[in-house]
Amino acid sequence: MSIPSVYSPQEVEKKWYKYWEENGFFHTEPDERKPFSIVMPPPNVTGQLHMGHALDNTMQDILTRYKRMQGYNTLWLPGTDHAGIATQAKVEEELRKEGLSKDDLGREKFLERVWAWKEKYGNRITEQLRTLGASCDWDRERFTLDEGCSEAVKEVFLRLYEKGLIYRDYYITNWCPHCKTTISDIEVEHQEQDGKLYHIKYPLEDGTGYLTVATTRPETMLGDTAVAVHPDDERYRGFVGKKVILPLLNRPIPVIADEYVDREFGTGVVKITPAHDPNDFEVGLRHQLPQVVVLDDEAIMNENAGSYQGLDRYAARKKIVEDLKELGLLVKEEDIKHSVGHCYRCDTVIEPRLSKQWFVRMKPLAKPAIEAALKGEVKFVPERFTKIYLNWLYNIRDWCISRQLWWGHRIPVWYCEECGEVIPSREEVKSCPKCQSTRVHQDPDVLDTWFSSALWPFSTMGWPKNTEELHYYYPTSVLVTGRDIIFFWVARMLFMGLEFMKQVPFREVLIHGLVLDAQGRKMSKSLGNGVDPVEVIASHGADSLRFMLVTGNTPGNDLRFHFERLDGARNFANKLWNASRFVLMNLEGFNPQGIKKEDLTLADRWILSRLNSVIEKVTANLEQYELGEAARELYEFIWDEFCDWYVELSKPRLYGKMPGGDTAREVLYWVLKTTLELLHPFMPFITEEIWQKLPHEGKTIMLAPWPTVKVEYNNPDAVKEMSSLMEVIREIRRLRAEVNVPPSKRGEVILVTADSSLRSLLNENSWAISALAQSEPRIVAQMPAPDGALTGVAAGITLYLPLKDLIDLEKEKERLNKELKKVLAEIERLEKKLNNPGFLAKAPAEVINKEREKLSGFYREKEILEQRIGMFSHEL
């Protein structure tokens, strides 16, 4: 039954994960049991494990392991996302090293390269998830581009198209000039940065003056088709209906009135560029303005930009500003800070740009998703995220779903080159059904990656086929995800699930925060502050990382990563290992016969009652998704009550100094085994390793029944009595520590209480005081304070610790006088400092207050030392 003296997570973790997977313990099939299902938020196939993944998947694994032990038919369905933009970028980067581009290969050959890359590198993150201990059903692993998911995506697109919920039109979208594709509004990251506001004169066509506009992007003025003022702005009412001359291109454009204009911003006159600004686009529609595109897909000025054609947008800005200055049309440049949109993938500044794209009409789909939240059909944990979710849906805009990429789900629409017919189809189209021409081609664009991810809870279970899994596991029980993708993913899964399955895709959404660095900053490559979980697992073990990520974490809140906390989790694993090693060493030849209540000591009754309480609290916290609180309960029980108290209290009986060794073994076995089962979802590897060494039933702790409260062990009186005993022992230890009594030095402690029940408690457990406080107790009803003794109070009991036989009083007095001398010197120094007018005038208030606090502390220390010296002087 023995285990090595030192715990080695590297050896243990690989061994047990292989054992679990090879024995199929993660796999499940529909049966008569109650289901519990989770779908894993699919990590990008390009990715590798980061701390956000580690937290998210640890939380899912805890819930999965917990429900599995409770007897549920538990499915945790894993998979990866094809990550259109990111994966294509990776492969294009490789091609550039070979001096090639995707266009050199052509679409078919390029996609062959991407699939080859996916086969080579795509399983990296799933292998890393295994090192974390993720107990997914890997037999059911899915990929957003696999055959079944692709069929589901095509079916959803066509059904939405047939209902009029998908359409194609010209619209302003967020264009990334580096990735050369549109991205959705929620994929744009806005960053505060320095910029300039340029005030530019637009001369009136009739030569009577000019209007001054203010813009941060003068390069887009070449696409202006109007200038606008607010209809209620008295300054400009007389200009509405007139025309101004667009500088540099000398094109007449109208002055219009629109309530969109902010009278307080700049001059109160704004340029309207319908093809390059989303708000201007809406204004342009209202006033039927032309839409002039002046930037191409690489943000290079095009043929509509006159003499600036061929210039990059920033070079064009510089040249335009210079030319405006030369013409006397630049009034001023104003330094400002403003929010600028960046591509979430490559950090390039986004260019709003008019282009023809595919869209999902969102209002009809959002309505049922709003109602589901309002009716409580789906609940967010914490509840505050419901409001965030609803606010986004109330203000939702149509979703641009087309991407100018080759890697992804290609849009299932063909076009006839002869008659212009648009042909949506589930099968490949060879000829036009309208004119029979064979000159047809498929739309070159692919669907937004989030479109396929939105179907994840049901596409992974076989939809559109009517599978047994879909009937049994859908809706899933809970979704665990970060607060940063409520809009990207959670909301979209809800409206897709309601549209196609007529049910919410999950009953509850457990939201967690981000993992930040120790300073509270987001981990990023640019800051170089990221922590690699794979490296942490290699150095500290997966169990330590998991426990560290969960403890102190509350739903919805961000978590700071501290290596000190990681070391603390490793120390906890070692503490458990050492205590278990002690227990196992004392269970040689042990065969559990069951606990006999009549043989139990106070310590036995206390630990069994406390174990009941822990079972109850951990279970309740897990049910409420308070994983951090559940972990804290276990930490405190294992470290403090089991290891530091009960194990120590069991030693006299195990070593034959006290009767009841067999009972102590029974209780140690039962408490350790039950505690390991409670801890298993949090720290699966170390608990399996120890549990396997104990007498047990079954092949794995994973499938052991979840512990339940044994009512016969509930004993509040024992808990209360033991609490009093522990207080007494702690106080004796404190008194001994105050005067540096070495543990090996035993002496008398006098315990005084008039309460006969307390005296009985102390007498019956005097052996525990002797064993744990290195003191021989004398228990009396009353007694005056003896000379030369330290005094303390605990649990209503007065304690006297005679020092004569414990320490050399002369040496202790000498030591205390030295301490007093140091304290008096500090008091003198601080008093002088705080009486110095110069210091008080110059030092910040917080510094002065800190120094005053120090002085107060030294005054208190002086008083204690003088009392102690006085006591020793009287004795001597």
Nearest Cα residue to 345 out of 144, 117, 189, 453: 189
Torsion of CA 524, 530, 535, 537, to 10 degrees: -100
State yes or no: cis peptide before 382, omega within 30 of 0. yes
- Tell me which amino acid residue 78 is: P
CA distance 520 to 557: 12
What single letter denotes the amino acid at residue 103?
Answer: D
Q: What are the CA-CA distances from residue 87 to residues 46, 100, 448 (Å)?
A: 6, 17, 13
Give the residue among 502, 527, 505, 508 at the shortest CA–CA distance from 516: 527
Q: Please give the Cα distance from 596 to 202 (Å, whole number).
A: 96
Please state, in angstroms and as integers, the Cα–Cα distance from residue 344 to each residue in 85, 145, 174, 415, following that order.
10, 22, 11, 32
C-alpha atoms less than 13 angstroms from C-alpha of 400 in its C-beta half-sphere: 23
Number of neighbours of residue 636 by Cβ within 10 angstroms? 12
Give the C-alpha separation, 694 to 591, whole Å.
10
Would you say 866 and 820 are in contact if contact means Cβ atoms under 8 Å apart?
Answer: yes
Measured over the CA atoms of residue 259, residue 262, residue 266 and residue 270, the dihedral's sign is negative
For 823, other C-beta atoms within 10 Å of its C-beta total 20
What is the Cα–Cα distance from 786 to 788, expressed in whole angstroms?
Answer: 6
- 76: DSSP letter: E
- Structure tokens given for 664: 């102590």
The stretches of 586-682 forming alpha helices (DSSP H) are: 602-623, 627-636, 647-654, 661-679
Task: Indicate the residue type of 820.
Answer: L
Q: Is 525 annotated in some ligand binding site?
A: yes
Distance of CA 509 to the CA centre of its chain: 13
Q: Give the DSSP letter of residue 523.
A: P
DSSP 277: -
DSSP SS3 for 193: strand
H or E element that contains 789: strand 789-794
10 Å CB burial of residue 38 (0-12, 13-18, 19+) is buried
Q: Where are the alpha helices (DSSP H) in 82-223?
A: 84-97, 102-105, 107-121, 124-132, 147-162
Which residues, in sequence order, are CB contacts of 97 under 8 Å at separation 6+? none
DSSP letters of 293-359?
Answer: --B-TTSBB-GGGGGGTT-BHHHHHHHHHHHHHHTT-EEEEEEEEEEEEEETTT-PBPEEEEEEEEE
β-sheet bridge partners, residue 194: 337
Burial class (CB in 10 A: 0-12, 13-18, 19+), 468: exposed
CA angle, residues 245, 247, 251, in degrees to nearest 5: 45
How many angstroms separate the CA atoms of 79 and 81, rounded?
7
**Sequence ranges of the binding site for ATP:** 525
**Sequence ranges of the binding site:** 525
